[in-house]
């Protein structure tokens, strides 16, 4: 019986590999389509790598922030994983952007923000981050007056 189980598991793993390979995707930096981000202050750019973000599926996006960029306190409905690809990201937790209450995440560093956690960020230099998580995705600003979609 043990041999049958091991063979069955091996077959399932091989089938899974075949199924994954059939959907294999490679995205190179030259393939990214950078667009303005309506949900962030002017100057931020976003590129969708995997999605859609409005459904309960995995997503991957990249943000490009200019130097001296500020993201007011906000939260997301699901966990957020942020990896710094270039520059550095100053990330803090709280109800209002406070540069003194941030931690600098360098290139290669990761920030993991639980769902519905108020947080904020700012950059000192141009910075590119990759964000991944599960949709549906959204952003809610702690202070509605900070939401550029309402201006």
In this model, does residue 10 exceed pLDDT 60? no
Identify the CATH number of the domain in which residue 52 sits. 2.60.120.10
Task: Provide the whole-model pTM.
Answer: 0.83
What is the per-residue pLDDT for 25?
A: 87
In a domain, 62, yes or no: yes
Q: List, for residues 104-126, the tens digit of each pLDDT value.
A: 999 999 999 999 999 999 999 99
Kindly give the pairing relationship between strand 110-113 and strand 35-36.
Answer: unpaired
Domain enclosing residue 121, as ranges: 29-150
DSSP SS3 for 91:
strand
Q: List, for residues 36-81, the tens digit of each pLDDT value.
A: 999 999 999 999 999 999 999 999 999 999 999 999 999 999 999 9
Residue pair 124/68 in contact (Cβ under 8 Å)? The answer is: yes
Tell me if the bond preceding 56 is cis, omega within 30° of 0.
no
Dist. CA 15–CA 29, nearest whole Å: 31
What is the per-residue pLDDT for 79?
A: 97
């Amino acid at each position: 019986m043990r041999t049958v189980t091991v063979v069955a598991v091996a077959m399932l793993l091989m089938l899974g590999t075949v199924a994954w390979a059939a959907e294999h995707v490679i995205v190179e930096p030259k393939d990214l389509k950078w667009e303005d981000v309506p949900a962030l202050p002017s100057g931020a750019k976003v590129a969708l790598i995997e999605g859609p973000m409005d459904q309960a599926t995995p997503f991957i996006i990249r943000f490009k922030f200019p130097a001296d960029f500020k993201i007011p306190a906000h939260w997301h409905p699901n966990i957020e994983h942020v990896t710094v690809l270039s520059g550095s990201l100053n990330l803090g937790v709280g109800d209002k952007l406070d540069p003194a209450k941030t931690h600098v995440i360098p290139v290669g560093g990761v920030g993991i923000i639980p769902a519905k956690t108020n947080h904020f960020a700012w950059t000192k230099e141009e910075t590119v981050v990759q964000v991944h998580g599960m949709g549906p995705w959204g952003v809610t600003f702690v202070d509605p007056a900070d939401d550029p979609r309402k201006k």
